[in-house]
A and B are shown apart, each in its own frame.
Chain A
Amino acid sequence: MNIRECDREPDVLEAVISGAWPPGNIVDIVDLVHPGDPGDNDLRAHASRCPVCADLAAVSLVLQAERETALREARVPTSGQVWWRASMRRRAEATAAAARPISLLQGLAGACAAGVCAAVIALAWPATGRPFEGIAAALSEEGLRLGAAAMSAMLMNQALLSLAVVIGAGLILSPFLLYLALSDE
């Protein structure tokens, strides 16, 4: 037989929450009947026989006492402080959200500028590509030796120059990208 509920549970809970059941420790609750105590002795007598109500009384008395203690020891900030902090935080978040597209545009502008600079350098001073010519020639010879005749030194030179531009742009852009990635947090 399972006993899961009792008709007098609401009475017990009401007595505990209303304070009609004097607070005490668990032992007091098991020794429920104390003649002369305030409160409902009939209810206490019932709880001493009913396991459901005994558990209910024990648990609710302890938790009620704990709640009272917690409410006493709570040192909560004033409502004004909480409102002010929430407003400041809301504003900070709104500012960050508003600034996000601007940061994105700045990053894009920086990337474009870096690309243009790299292109101008490559056109104005073709000598910047010379260090790559030796590598290109060596690779080309190696390619010819391996039978890759289509890979001419000129094409290789152009490819390596493009690669150098990309690497240079990446080096210039990386601070912008890092900024964009980390700016939200």
Chain B
Amino acid sequence: MTIRDVTLPDIARLGDATDTLDVTFQMDEDAFRSFYDRTARAVWAYISRTTGDNRLADDLMQETYYRFLRAAVTHDNETHRRHYLFRIAVNLVHDHYRRPYLHRLPEPDHRDHPQSQSGERAADRAAQRIDLTRAMARLTRRERDLLWLAYAQGSSHAEIATTLGLKTASIKSLLFRARRHLASLLGAAGPRQGQE
């Protein structure tokens, strides 16, 4: 069941008839609002850029917070809570791509992005974004997750390992290969002497 399945009469009936049901979450509303305000955009950005689909990001972000609220997990601190949230988001994205009819990222819609910029710089930025989106689409899911968490989110290796359910010791080499892959896709030649 999703919130879209709940009709207005259902909502009225729920409000009247289910006051006695246990509908509490592991977090109170004020704490949730504060946490949400600090994390929502980052979660949306992660989902949007690793799936290439803003609408999907809207849906999966709400599902992420619902599952987070529903989970009966105690969090030691803000960092732990944040990692747990991202882990839910990562799993939701992976679940989404397990569906058989989804094999590749959609082409990005850049029509509304460069409006705040102007001229050549806006065109360069738009071209760069298209290059990046295409390059990201050619990475594996794990590579996208690793690179986004490490270089967009700025997460440490230990944090990435916790979020993705990997061993911390393996993150360095995985990141190296993912970075090499993306750099080559982006055409960032640079000096290559001595590289494997």
A residues neighboring B (CB under 8 Å): 1-5, 13, 16-17, 25-26, 29-30, 48-52, 54-56, 58-60, 62-67, 69-71, 73-74, 76-77, 79-80, 82-83, 85-96, 98, 185
Contact A77 B29 (CB under 8 A): no
* Contact call B176/A5, Cβ cutoff below 8 A: yes
A74, A88, A90, A93: which contacts B25 (Cβ < 8 A)?
A90
Q: Is B95 an interface residue (CB 8 A)?
A: no
Does any Cβ of A come within 8 Å of B65's Cβ? yes
Cα–Cα distance between A13 and B151 once the two chains are bound (Å): 8
B36 x A26 contact (CB < 8 A): no
A66 touches which of B11, B36, B129 (Cβ 8 Å): B129
Partner of A85, one of B29, B40, B62, B195: B62
Residue from A48, A62, A85 in contact with B3 in the complex, judged by beta carbons closer than 8 Å: A85
Is the beta-carbon distance between A91 and B18 smaller than 8 angstroms?
Answer: yes
User: Known contacts A55-B180, A66-B129: does B6 contact A88 (CB below 8 Å)?
Assistant: yes
Tally chain B residues at the interface, Cβ within 8 Å: 65
- SS class, residues of chain B in contact with chain A: helix
Give Cα A73 to B54, complex, Å.
10
Residues of chain B with a CB closer than 8 A to A91's CB: 14, 18, 21, 23
CA A77 to CA B124, docked complex, whole Å:
31
A85 neighbours in B (Cβ, 8 Å): 3, 62, 66
Of chain B, the residue at the smallest CB distance from A14 is B154
A contact residues around B44 at 8 Å (CB): 70, 74, 76
Q: A66-B49, A94-B21 are in contact. List 18 more A-B contacts (CB 8 A).
A: A58-B186, A59-B183, A60-B151, A62-B128, A65-B125, A65-B128, A67-B49, A69-B113, A70-B45, A74-B40, A74-B41, A76-B40, A82-B62, A83-B29, A88-B3, A89-B6, A94-B22, A96-B1
* CB pair B152 A63 closer than 8 Å: yes
* Cα A164 to Cα B89 with chains together (Å): 55
Is B49 a contact of A30 with CB atoms below 8 Å? no
Given that A2-B196, A89-B1, A92-B1 are contacting pairs, would A26 and B40 also be in contact in the complex, using a CB cutoff of 8 Å?
no
- B23, B34, B48: which contacts A87 (Cβ < 8 A)? B23
The verdict on B194 contacting chain A, using a C-beta distance below 8 Å, is: yes
Whether B21 contacts A3 by the Cβ 8 Å rule is no
Alpha-carbon gap, A3 to B194, bound state (A): 7
Q: Is B37 an interface residue (CB 8 A)?
A: yes
Compute how far the CA of A51 lies from the CA of B191 in the bound complex, rounded to whole angstroms: 5
Contact residue among B61, B66, B151, B179 (Cβ-Cβ distance under 8 Å from A86): B66
Once the chains are docked, how many angstroms separate the CA of A116 from the CA of B187? 78
B191→A48 contact, CB < 8 A: yes
